[in-house]
Structure 1
């Protein structure tokens, strides 16, 4: 049996590296571990930031009242020393989890948050898989010198997680014998995304096709074999992207050079880089894998998370049809604002009659259910001041000025638009204000409080003791 202090140190370093890496890849993230070192061990839990609180009934049912998890396929003795066998994920709402067993650790399940704006859960799942593999190897090696390295590797695992997910998906779709190398492909995508051409960021599509399928692409223009631009010449590829900017076509690459300009559909499980200025997306076929910006890969779809608005609308007096219509209108305006990179404020007024707000009033309110009028509203959102939208989906004014008494929750770092919304909603109960900043953050405010504000996570200790038994942890809830 391993020394408790060493085992605790393994869990601490690997958990800390995983949590920090996922927080950079996604938004702020927590991680937790449930494990049993031997087939007869009572399960223990390491959850320093209370990720699994609220899931006690499910955890008790799976790990304490049912022994199915101990029967995960594969006998421990038959598992090769440097491999692990994955188990079926647990049905836990709001969480991503990966279970595995190995020679060193009979069973372990890693958990992290399932953020609502993920392009795909695949890279995160591969990250958890690697954390479980590193923990089992740390237990097996019994070498404390490896622990700092293990944590550092997991902190910077983003590119590897994306690569592993793409490789696995392509192997499942096309078989193991594929020639397109994914690491150089991802490196080229990031390098091109950071390369300016006459001061402008890259726009357009770059499609990476399996070399064996390259001749099956429909080309608008195909370069001669001995003059094809080399993919590693990122500056040249950046210039060539000008030829497909603002078009449905793409530069086509076999992973080594640019073959030509092709048109969809593209064969096989192609990797598609979609450049949209200072950000972009990596797709596998038509499915988003991740986004990229600031020289790194991220999980976000870069679309505003309006879950809290849905919840507020459910609590309102509106019927289902009105709620859906109003949510669609607001979503369109918010996403348009973020894409155009300008700020705006939307006042959703549920009062009857509506609240009078100083601003540019319309003689006849316009219905935003009309797509043409919605387009007008998106343009008016660029004007200083707020859009005044009533519950029936009509726009009553724009350039509206919000004021009110000072409130405790004001934040000077957020600017006048945000703080004015706090003051205004503090004095009016029957409305919701949505503030979109020019640098993308979005806030939903009601009653002088930002309902989208994230609570600070509990701080992590500098070390950890022996994780408690799951049974004791549940009893302490």
Structure 2
């Protein structure tokens, strides 16, 4: 195999592993790479799923109208064989970037999507740094026997990415002098999250404090040193969480065992796990890092993605105040449905004369500007059928039945609520329907189309041809 073909296969396997791993961690994700092996080589681009299309002007400016990307050459005495040195990133809207240099690859810049519901971009950035390191290592070793192993490592890197980000951040805050071991903490969080107590999932907060800071805490209850529950005993810790459920209290741990119970806030280097039933959030200090569910980590913050609704509202003839009130109302209704674990359907009608929908009508529409009426509206979403809300910020009906003719794009796996919304919106203009499933996904539907649907990207196959020159790619 030629060195060029070997390099192309290295890039493909690492790209495929990175893309697949990030897709499991953050939802469907694409990835792209811009690279030059030697300082005198032209830049090449590998973008099999057109992630960087529409960003051509910025790429042209950064790579061809300045030499900024060449600053900080890695070919100096401080660069070791496989060490990846971060360089200045190229910032593109909606994308996460990571650029690096090494002795085996003069320049590489990785790109992936920044999803709107991410807790933090940190783990993804760590993931991309690892991809850059593996590519540098594979280029340096030229070992044909391990050509696809880097891809396998990247596919299963989620826990390691979370750990790497937390360790890097804590080192920046407090240096290398730490006794908290992050891997056992992450193992314990996942183990506790999947352990039920009398059929119920874990709820409550568990905070991990640096051992040197434990004596400064004012405990409500503290366990003797020789009787502290081990963090490895997930069942025992799960039982103890019942003592802090639905309160400001937290279980305090030193990373090895549960020290006691206290009502404390996070420190700048503490790690906190907030168990919320069948899912939870992991924090570093006061900032979210990732979420966890089904014994794995992910980037989602479990907040509904309402970007399409915001864009739709901007096009509607409403005052800024009415637009804000309506958007906040929808957020609270969705949050209430998620908290109560029931599905619901909201019809947002922006016609001057509201659409007539079969269902429970009212003598007078309910004014949603009144707090008690907003509470009533949240309760009405529990009934079968849709809630009809109009642009006058009033609730015009509930338990509404949505009908219409069959349309393309129906999905029998999504149930009657979703497919009825598709049919109904195909029939009427100036309205949008929001479908909230009992298992949290939120769908925004207009004109018989789900605006929040995920694209199925084309299948990637092996890359045996050298990726095109960036200059040629920019010319279309």
TM (norm. structure 2) is 0.97
User: After superposition, where does 1:5-404 map in structure 2 within 5 Å?
Assistant: 5-72=5-72, 74-404=74-404
Corresponding position: 1:3 with 2:10 = no
Q: Is the 1:220–1:263 contact (alpha carbons within 8 Å) kept by the matching residues of 2?
A: yes
Matched position secondary structure for 2:7: helix
CA distance in 2, matches of 1:168, 1:269: 11
Shift of 1:372: 2.3
Q: Is the 1:209–1:268 contact (alpha carbons within 8 Å) kept by the matching residues of 2?
A: no
Q: Aligned-residue CA RMSD in angstroms?
A: 1.3
CA distance in 2, matches of 1:340, 1:474: 50
Partner of 2:417: 417
5+ long unaligned stretches in structure 2: none
Shift of 1:234: 1.1
Of 455-464 and 197-206, the range deviating more from structure 2: 455-464
Shift of 1:461: 1.8
Shift of 1:55: 0.6
Shift of 1:74: 4.9
User: After superposition, where does 1:451-462 map in structure 2 within 5 Å?
Assistant: 451-462=451-462
CA distance in 2, matches of 1:77, 1:108: 19
Shift of 1:446: 1.3
Q: Is the 1:77–1:103 contact (alpha carbons within 8 Å) kept by the matching residues of 2?
A: no
CA distance in 2, matches of 1:261, 1:300: 29
1:302-330 Cα distance to aligned partner (Å, 9 max, x none): 11100001111112222322221111111
Extract structure 1 runs of 4+ deviating beyond 6 A. Answer: none
CA distance in 2, matches of 1:269, 1:158: 21
1:244-276 Cα distance to aligned partner (Å, 9 max, x none): 111111100001111000111244410001001
Of 236-245 and 356-365, the range deviating more from structure 2: 356-365
Shift of 1:362: 2.1
**How many equivalent pairs are there?**
475
Matched position secondary structure for 2:219: strand
CA distance in 1, matches of 2:116, 2:268: 29
Shift of 1:77: 4.1
Shift of 1:430: 1.6
CA distance in 2, matches of 1:267, 1:375: 36
Q: Is the 1:271–1:282 contact (alpha carbons within 8 Å) kept by the matching residues of 2?
A: yes
Q: Is the 1:209–1:254 contact (alpha carbons within 8 Å) kept by the matching residues of 2?
A: yes
In structure 2, relative to structure 1, the CA distance for the partners of 1:50 and 1:85 (3 Å cut) is same
Of 92-101 and 163-172, the range deviating more from structure 2: 163-172
CA distance in 2, matches of 1:55, 1:352: 40
Shift of 1:218: 1.8
